[in-house]
Chain A
Amino acid sequence: EPEVTQTPSHQVTQMGQEVILRCVPISNHLYFYWYRQILGQKVEFLVSFYNNEISEKSEIFDDQFSVERPDGSNFTLKIRSTKLEDSAMYFCASSVLGAGETQYFGPGTRLLVL
């Protein structure tokens, strides 16, 4: 069964460093998402992406964050200058269509900022 994959599974970085989290969505899906979950808290929406552009973003998704689909398969989340509070589990998800469709989640990348 097709699945969403994410790399790396864990990443440790120093405050102020740039990180890139990678995702490979399911191949026939058109909508891509990033969510994050700070330890002990609920999952929060960051951004949705369709047709090579951001379709929706949350107030968390500030200028430090960017997303890109550099080729036909990868979908990346870049954090330019990490802060301690960026430590979280980051989930990528994809869906065939957008609103009202089931979203399929990747296993997550656990990011720790020291």
Chain B
Amino acid sequence: AQSVSQHNHHVILSEAASLELGCNYSYGGTVNLFWYVQYPGQHLQLLLKYFSGDPLVKGIKGFEAEFIKSKFSFNLRKPSVQWSDTAEYFCAVSDTGRRALTFGSGTRLQVQP
């Protein structure tokens, strides 16, 4: 069975600081990788996705993620965070069979003005 690990549970940053959130997955086959964001009281929104090709993918709101196959990682980055980035971030992987998502436990990001 596949699994996803997000090692940072709670991250506190000041505005303009750089962000990197870790995501590692375990799965032996072809995977599709996603980052979702959940703003307080809202539903999950797709931030970015990786299917194949260039391992550096760009998403909405200035976020990007890098897929490193040898490390089974898909870390999320943003050069300069804003107060409005305060949210919970979830990494997810989907298998090509069932096509359902397996989520990490999430990282709560708090950006202080």
Say if A and B assemble together: no
